[in-house]
């Protein structure tokens, strides 16, 4: 039995495993077949993947009792939540847009880390969800909120959280198959010339700075990534754009827009917290400084998320308005741009 490939997304938290059964493989239930190969995965998790349609043999969906035969191509998409260093429930307010027994849709605030990690052991979205779930009678005590995607600490907007293993597996498959709809609003430096466009370029860890991601246009490193953009409003030295993710790599919009010559406004990690376009005057410099103080992080908001409900498969779409600071930032640029055009 040979493992052909393993895919693990950046912003999307799942693994895609692909195996080809050896010529000498005797018929064996697929859940046992995969359990023997995936040492860190429970058989129950594999069975949940089968119930949610995330098991495939020779490109066809199968159940967990399918018997793998010699030469079969076996594929499975498994939810792969990040290691939770501390699971301490905390009474942190959540802006919940929708909730039922399977999913919780919420509007994450900028400044909130999604899950516990080194340097962020408390105050995360997961800590808040653990406290919130205590009040949900349909959620068993041992279950934990399941992340299938994440947003950067300083990116606000809509997220979906799975409330049981079935939903976790089903949603992971949707993100893997790119059947979700994700729209972001971003303010970027410069006047984006084309009304709309498509940015294609592999994204991987930067060779110069391991805290940053970078685009590898030749595709020799990193992972395939595609971002679609559309201009919403022009402010002269900055542009408000809508970005649609086709893939979900770490920092994808931030890295792709910088690669296209339009770094996100206020993005400290990628140099957007400096004056990249505009006038060399004291008045303009003060204006930009006031903008940075108004919104001291990247101007990026996850505005819309569309998913298929894990159980009913009904299409659900959720929309969130720009946070007040982001709205105020756009208003400030709108006023400045208008005054500039009349000078």
User: Hey, is 183 helix, strand or coil?
Assistant: strand
Q: Give the Cα separation of 67 and 32 in Å (integer).
A: 9
Rg (CA), the chain: 22
Cβ atoms within 10 Å of 27's Cβ, excluding its own: 12
Let me know: does 241 contact 234? Beta carbons within 8 Å. no
Facing residues of 58 across strands? none
Q: State the residue for tokens 């058989």.
A: 43
Task: Locate 171 and state its tokens.
Answer: 């949603």
Q: Give the Cα separation of 225 and 223 in Å (integer).
A: 6
Alpha-carbon dihedral of residues 270, 273, 279, 283, nearest 10 degrees? 180
Let me know: does 143 contact 130? Beta carbons within 8 Å. no
Q: Which listed residue (152, 154, 165, 267) is catalytic?
A: 152
**DSSP codes joined into one string, 241-273:** EEEEESS--TTHHHHHHHHTT-PBTT-TTTTTT
Let me know: does 303 contact 320? Beta carbons within 8 Å. yes
Task: Locate 149 and state its tokens.
Answer: 């995607």
Contacts of 123 (CB under 8 A, 6+ apart): 90, 92, 112, 113
Query: Does the annotation count 152 as an active-site position?
Result: yes
Nearest to 278 by CA among 336, 196, 193: 336
Let me know: does 106 contact 112? Beta carbons within 8 Å. no
Q: Give the Cα separation of 169 and 48 in Å (integer).
A: 7
Annotated active-site positions, please?
152
């Amino acid at each position: 039995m040979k493992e052909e490939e393993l895919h693990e997304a950046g912003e999307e938290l799942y693994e895609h495993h692909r195996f080809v059964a050896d010529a000498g493989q005797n018929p064996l239930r697929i859940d046992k077949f995969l359990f023997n190969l995936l040492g860190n995965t429970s058989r129950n998790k594999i069975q949940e993947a089968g119930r949610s349609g995330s098991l495939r043999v020779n490109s066809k969906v199968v159940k967990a009792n399918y018997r793998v035969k010699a030469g079969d191509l076996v594929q499975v998409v498994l939810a792969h939540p990040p290691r939770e260093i501390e699971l301490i429930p905390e009474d942190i307010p959540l802006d919940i847009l929708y909730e039922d027994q399977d999913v919780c849709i919420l509007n994450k605030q900028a400044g909130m880390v999604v899950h516990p990690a080194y340097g962020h052991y408390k105050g995360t979205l997961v800590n808040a969800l653990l406290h919130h779930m205590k009040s949900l009678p349909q959620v068993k005590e041992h279950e934990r909120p399941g992340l299938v995607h994440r947003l950067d600490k300083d990116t606000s907007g809509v997220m979906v959280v799975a409330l049981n293993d079935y939903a976790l597996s089903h949603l992971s498959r949707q993100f893997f198959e790119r059947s979700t709809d994700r729209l972001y609003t971003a303010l970027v430096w410069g006047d984006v010339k084309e009304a709309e466009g498509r940015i294609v370029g592999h994204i991987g860890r930067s060779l110069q700075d391991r805290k940053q991601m970078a685009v590898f246009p030749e595709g020799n490193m990193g992972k395939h990534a595609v971002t679609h953009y559309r201009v919403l409003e022009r402010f002269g030295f900055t542009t408000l754009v809508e970005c649609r993710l086709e893939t979900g790599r770490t920092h994808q919009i931030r890295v792709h827009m910088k690669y296209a010559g339009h770094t996100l406004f206020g993005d400290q990690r990628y140099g957007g917290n400096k004056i990249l376009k505009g006038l060399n005057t004291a008045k303009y410099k003060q204006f930009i400084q006031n903008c940075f103080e108004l919104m001291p992080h990247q101007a990026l908001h996850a505005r819309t998320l569309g998913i298929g409900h894990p159980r009913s498969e009904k299409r659900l779409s959720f929309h969130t308005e720009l946070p007040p600071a982001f709205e105020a930032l756009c208003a400030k640029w709108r006023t400045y741009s208008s005054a500039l055009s009349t000078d």
